[in-house]
């Protein structure tokens, strides 16, 4: 039981670290490019995180629920026939 809780805590910490790294890279790319090209303000860490969350919501880079192919409208390949 304790090892399961430790695994969950470790997973959550790793997720937070990966998100922080992703946000820092996005912020660095933005702040090194956008102010020079488009004369916009530099972003803070919080603003970078909010933009990434908004982009994820708007462009749907993830699905919380996987839908069966029949429901999602994707074509279903014909079943292979066993000989």
pLDDT value for 73: 62
pLDDT value for 74: 62
pLDDT value for 39: 93
Which among 50, 45, 56, 42 has a CA at the least distance from the CA of 21? Answer: 45
Place of tokens 């074509």: 75
What are the tens digits of pLDDT across the range 23-77?
999 999 999 999 999 999 999 999 999 999 999 888 876 665 566 666 556 665 6
pLDDT value for 65: 59
Confidence of residue 22 (pLDDT cuts 50, 70, 90): very high
Place of tokens 């090892």: 3
């Amino acid at each position: 039981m304790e090892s399961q809780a430790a695994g969950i805590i470790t997973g959550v910490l790793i997720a937070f670290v990966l998100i922080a790294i992703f946000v820092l890279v996005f912020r660095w790319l933005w702040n090194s490019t956008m102010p020079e090209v488009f004369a916009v303000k530099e972003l803070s860490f919080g603003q970078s995180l909010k933009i990434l969350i908004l982009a994820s919501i708007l462009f749907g880079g993830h699905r919380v629920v996987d839908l069966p192919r029949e429901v999602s409208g994707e074509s279903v390949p014909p079943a292979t026939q066993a000989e």
